[in-house]
Amino acid sequence: MENIKFNFIPSQAKSIYQYKSLRTKVLKCNANITFNKQCLSNNLIPKYANIKIPHTSKAASFTQIKIHTTRIKDEIRFLYMKKTQLNKSLYIAHLKVAQEWGDTWPLIRDYIHNSNNTDMANIIVVLTAVYIFNLSKHNGMENIKFNLPLTFLDSRWKAKDSGPNGSLTLICS
CA dist., res. 170 & res. 136, Å (int): 13
Top pLDDT among 146 and 5 is at 5
Q: Please say whether the beta carbons of 99 and 7 come within 8 A.
A: no
Q: What is the pLDDT of residues 36-72, one digit of tens each?
A: 888 888 788 888 888 777 878 888 888 888 888 999 9
CB 112 within 8 A of CB 6: no
Spatial CB neighbours of 16, under 8 Å, sequence gap ≥ 6: 8, 97, 101, 108, 112
Q: Report CA-CA distances (Å) from 138 to 2, 121, 128.
A: 46, 26, 15
Q: How many CA atoms lie within 13 A of 75 on its CB side?
A: 24
Helix (H/G/I), strand (E/B), else coil: 24: helix
Please report, rounded to a whole number, the percentage of residues in the chain having pLDDT higher than 70.
65
Collapsing DSSP to helix, strand or coil, 154 comes out as coil
> Positive or negative, the Cα torsion across 150, 152, 158, 160?
negative
- What SS3 class is residue 145? strand
| 13-28 tens-digit pLDDT | 888 888 889 998 998 8
What pLDDT band is residue 161 in, cutting at 50, 70 and 90? very low
What pTM was computed for the model? 0.68
Contacts of 40 (CB under 8 A, 6+ apart): 69, 72, 73, 76
